[in-house]
Chains A and B, each alone.
Chain A
């Protein structure tokens, strides 16, 4: 522990070194490395079956790992059984003890060892106030609402002063409205207590709104790890670009590199993108990623750097914005997000031809690359962003 304090900040709370896990022939995790700084809110995001929950359960000690090492504040906890680890898990279904009331549930972890009753009571009261459960302490679990159960589950974990809190899709059992309120509440709580949160979710907006850094996982591997803004604007792999919602992806071949721009021949048109420091060579296959909200529509005849002709195939009004679904002549689907509907004079109609434009600077280039350890996965060819 002393060694840690000698090193300059940031201090690392949890470090995962080469965690791998397989169930028989199925590889759930392959060599996952991750470091979480003290007081950081990290969200692990990915489709179901990507290994995110397995990873969390391995950290908690509920699942064994095939190989790898776990360090909690510099101490190797790999061999510690679950009940000796100072990590705490919050379950999706809350896992509250139905035979105990709220107070007994929260106090559970404190009463397992020799304890001072008055101290336990004081601690429970304190944490209950923090999560606004003060007046519910004598209720039975069955009498609580979903949001209240959620608070009990968090309080029960936090009262034991864990070194890191692990949360497994803790909001997915709540309705949409409550979920959004709990998001900000949870973030506030985390900042106030300064405890690291490792938060698993399949919900992008949940991850982006709360986390300091986001881990995107796919097929038991980490695809990208960084602040939400970076994940959103600069996806590093094909998978991330696709997973992070509203991206358009165009595949093509580099035909020209000049003046800080590369030109890529795609199915419908030649598209330009900023070249970056290490541009791909002529003839190489790349994918171009453009966010749906970076694309605009312009009157016919205007000249722009990147433009694409497409036909409107659908329109989705979501309240604050409108999503336009279009299709090019070659059959590529394109999404465009506008903050407000077109003016009345520019009425849109299905099958209407539109010209789309965007700047080369908003075009992210992904170069096909082999990511270490992917060779054994069928179709494991992956795309890596330039300059990564």
Chain B
């Protein structure tokens, strides 16, 4: 893990170009400073997080210990009181379905940009698609709140237009959470997918069409397989972000938004609200470690699945 600073010395008589000494001060600085910062403010906190999960709180004071109490307590409440297991299930369900929907929404967008718009317009269209990313996420969620509220802009607009029967009741459900998340993810996914699709050689599609493939076959046999990596990357990215996000679930899902699994909060929201009410940092750390673990398992399962499909396909 730790980069060796002295290994850059060249074998010959002539030292590393541009420096009088064998190891350039630029090398020491360029590797050393980022490494030092990362060790102090990234590796150390994460290592400490693992440790903190075994510490305890006594008389509102965090006390160093090596105790499994936090984990045991969490285990006991997996299916009781807090129902952590349900929250984890809710998180998995919402994040995976969001990832799927986000890709499903963004991929056709990208196909339309790449294949229906002239090349000279691509840059403008991408700029527009990325625009929401540069405005505040929290404020966008607030905006969605007033759009989706039961008597909000969408429903009142529908009523005003005489379309009462089309009114929707989305706010404080996990569907609203998904809308917020997809809106947050879309600009990034569009960029990732654009890079993938735009790099597909058009001559290949032309060749497929020339060989008699229908438009659908050209998509199915050429474009889709060649987008595979981009689709996988964007879907995993979307799943990770959704799984760790707290804002959409809190502001649009209302903390314990309804889904097919019932009105259960997301695991991330649970961690946040538990800390807000108890400020019990060791216990929060233990919960955070569980979130990391579940996420790693989710990714590993996804990778295994993708791998098996690849073997099946090829």
Contacts and interface: CB of A to CB of B under 8 A. Distances in A.
Interface stretch (B6-14, B55-63, B65-73, B221-229): B6-14
A64 interface: yes
A192 interface: no
Judged by DSSP, the binding face of A is: loop
A81 B15 contact: yes
Interface in B1-50: 10-15, 17-20
A61 B12 contact: no
Contact of B13 (A62, A79, A83): A79
A81 B19 contact: yes
A196 to B, nearest CB: 21
B303 to A, nearest CB: 35
B20 A81 contact: yes
A120 interface: no
A65 B14 contact: yes
Contact of B12 (A64, A83, A84): A64
Nearest to A79: B13
Contacts of B12: 21, 64-66
A84 B19 CA distance: 10
A81 B14 contact: yes
Interface size class of B (residues with CB under 8 A): 10 to 19
Nearest to A65: B12
B11 A78 contact: no
B286 to A, nearest CB: 50
A213 to B, nearest CB: 26
Nearest to B21: A81
A81 B11 contact: no
Contacts of A64: 10-15
A79 B21 CA distance: 11
Interface string A43-66: 000000000000000100111111
Nearest to B20: A81
Nearest to A20: B12
A62 B17 contact: yes
A82 interface: yes
Contacts of B11: 64, 66
Interface in A152-195: none
Interface of A: 21, 58, 61-66, 78-84
Interface of B: 10-15, 17-20
Given A78-B13, A78-B14, A81-B19, 6 more contacts: A58-B14, A64-B13, A79-B13, A81-B14, A82-B17, A84-B20
CB-CB nearest 5 A-B residue pairs: A64-B12, A64-B14, A64-B10, A65-B12, A82-B17
22 contacts: A21-B12, A58-B14, A61-B17, A62-B17, A63-B14, A64-B10, A64-B12, A64-B15, A65-B12, A65-B13, A65-B14, A66-B12, A78-B13, A78-B14, A79-B13, A79-B15, A80-B14, A81-B14, A81-B15, A81-B20, A82-B14, A83-B18
